[in-house]
Chains A and B, each alone.
Chain A
Amino acid sequence: MKQFDAEILENRELAEDYFEMFLSWPEDVRVPFPGQVVSLNVDRNITPFLRRPFALASFDRTNRIASVIYHVRGPATERMRIKKPGDVIDTLGPRGFYFQVGRERNPILVGGGIGTGPMVFAANWLAAKGYTPRLVLGYRTESLFPKLDLSPLVRLEVCTDDGTLGFHGSTVAFLDSLTDTDKADAFVWACGPNAMLRALHFWCAPRGISCKVSLEEVMACGVGACVGCTVETTDERKMVRVCTEGPVFPSEVIRWN
């Protein structure tokens, strides 16, 4: 992990209030993997005061360009939105445990809202490794569905709460529609709202499907020092830091209150 000034190479709108920011990635900074996080300090202002963590949405190894997908929903992301190519942004990363494959060969990746970015990264990464991942993305409505740059090997399934695009219903309801063949040898990776991750955990557990989730929590330091971004676990650790022991966890480790 390093702290560096990344040059913004592109900042494009993907959907209503959803943007993707492309950042230069210096040679001496480690290659990031899906699930890993950068935290950005936009303009070093005193309000908002804290850095903002984002799971990476892509990494181009050849040109060393990383990206994050963000939703404009507060003063920090509003400042990000108006950034132009050539501007620089204080970047800290890459950080955290990433998604790692096991024995299963049938990936089902589930993203909701701002959880889209890391799932797109994971889907493209798995496709490059010879998998044919199913990418299930959920949004409230069609206008929030972002234009994505996906490998042709990724099987995209879009779900909307209002039925304006793709499957009418939640991502978990979509999983219910899968056949046994679809679910054979499956593993689930997911990122999105906690309610969705919780529902996914309880969908996967009785079916014996391995489920890994990437959690989002408010972070202060993002490096493991402040112990602020903790979540409760079912194991003897009782509490873990999302920034350090996560953000990716096997879903059964998390205490889903």
Chain B
Amino acid sequence: MELTLKLRNLLLPNPVGVASGTFGYAKEYDGLVDFGRIGAVYTKAITPEPRVGNPAPRLVETPAGMLNSIGLANVGVEKFVADKMDFLRKIPSKVIVNVAGAVDSDYERVVEALEGVEGVDGFEINVSCPNVKHGGMALGTDPRLVAGITKSLRARTAKPLILKLSPNVTDIGSTAEAAEAEGADAVSCINTLVGMVIDLKTKKPVLPFGTGGLSGPAVLPVAVAAVHKVSRRVKIPVVGIGGITSWEGAVQHLLAGASAIQVGSGTFANPRLAQEVHDGIVAWAWEEGIRSLADFHAFGA
């Protein structure tokens, strides 16, 4: 059985990754997980400068999920290289740095700063964060802007470039096509969905900016549908994200057309989820006679 995925010059050893924003800089999970079974770590979103993030409260639990409004809190690219890369170089998982910003030049600065850094195996471009005022989701909802940023970053990196797509659009297929047309090596979907919880005591939204990003098991069918749609619109691989809290959910993503998956907020509930999902996918695929990623897609779900 061969469930590896080649993205440009990078070979992902297995289809299971851990999603950006849910796994910090990986060291937070040192001693709790087996990195040998995690194919890729997608780091916390990195911006050119450090960001404190949004005011509290940043989290609220929802039926079968949660809303977050972290606001891209991160150490900034300089400290990321100085303080966080040492650990990331030590683990067997491939390291895909999630890149975020307010304007195109922010993304360009981060990619340029990391292009020559040993241990950075690729970039996932976050054009879909719903929790920042500028950039983020506004960028990711317009195919022309997605095309523009993809083209600009393609010119700046020889490493794999994955565009992380927003589900908060009418047609996620068109943003995926825009990324593909300008040289993205893959697209990942979905980022979180815009959601709101209102407190009956205060009669106001719980989160300070009103809305946050919905994740968790509640979004699994939305994510699977998005992967299904996108994988029929582009030829580049699709990385499925959203709602995975078991290997069965991950298999749904693969059958829908994903060539790799990311476990996201499910890790919060169970730190060992990614490796359990890995083992579950492998065991199920073996039993089903599946021997490659293409075999998952051959069912034509």
Binding site for B on A (CB under 8 A): 1-3, 41, 44, 46-51, 90, 92, 217-232, 238-239
Residue of A nearest to B220 (CB): A46
- 26 A-B pairs whose Cβ atoms sit less than 8 Å apart in the complex: A1-B31, A3-B271, A41-B270, A49-B66, A49-B217, A50-B66, A50-B268, A90-B270, A92-B271, A217-B57, A218-B57, A218-B60, A220-B59, A220-B66, A221-B271, A223-B271, A224-B28, A225-B24, A225-B44, A226-B68, A226-B70, A227-B70, A228-B58, A228-B68, A229-B59, A238-B52
> B55-71, CB under 8 A of A: which get 1 and which 0?
11111110111101010
| Complex Cα spacing A67 to B63, Å | 28
Residues of A with C-beta under 8 A to B66: 49-50, 220
Residue of B nearest to A224 (CB): B28
B200 located at the interface, meaning its Cβ lies under 8 Å from any Cβ of chain A in the complex? no
- Tell whether, in the assembled complex, residue B59 and residue A228 are in contact, meaning their CB atoms are under 8 Å apart: yes
Residues of A with C-beta under 8 A to B61: 48-50, 218
- Tell whether, in the assembled complex, residue A225 and residue B56 are in contact, meaning their CB atoms are under 8 Å apart: no
| Complex Cα spacing A223 to B271, Å | 9
B21 located at the interface, meaning its Cβ lies under 8 Å from any Cβ of chain A in the complex? yes
Nearest 3 pairs of A and B residues by beta carbon: A225-B24, A228-B59, A225-B28
Interface residues on chain B, number (Cβ under 8 Å): 36
- Tell whether, in the assembled complex, residue B269 and residue A3 are in contact, meaning their CB atoms are under 8 Å apart: no
For the complex with contacts A50-B268, A223-B32, A228-B59, 18 further pairs of A-B residues with Cβ separation under 8 Å are A3-B270, A44-B269, A46-B218, A46-B245, A90-B270, A218-B59, A220-B268, A221-B22, A225-B22, A225-B24, A225-B29, A226-B22, A226-B24, A226-B68, A226-B70, A227-B73, A231-B56, A238-B52
Residues of B with C-beta under 8 A to A48: 61
Residues of A with C-beta under 8 A to B270: 3, 41, 44, 90
Residue of A nearest to B216 (CB): A49
Task: For chain B, residues 208 to 241, give those with C-beta under 8 angstroms from any C-beta of chain A.
Answer: 216-218
B23 located at the interface, meaning its Cβ lies under 8 Å from any Cβ of chain A in the complex? yes
| Complex Cα spacing A48 to B218, Å | 11
B272 located at the interface, meaning its Cβ lies under 8 Å from any Cβ of chain A in the complex? yes
> B64-98, CB under 8 A of A: which get 1 and which 0?
11101010010000000000000000000000000
Given A217-B56, A223-B32, are A49 and B64 neighbors across the interface (CB < 8 Å)?
A: yes
Residues of A with C-beta under 8 A to B205: none
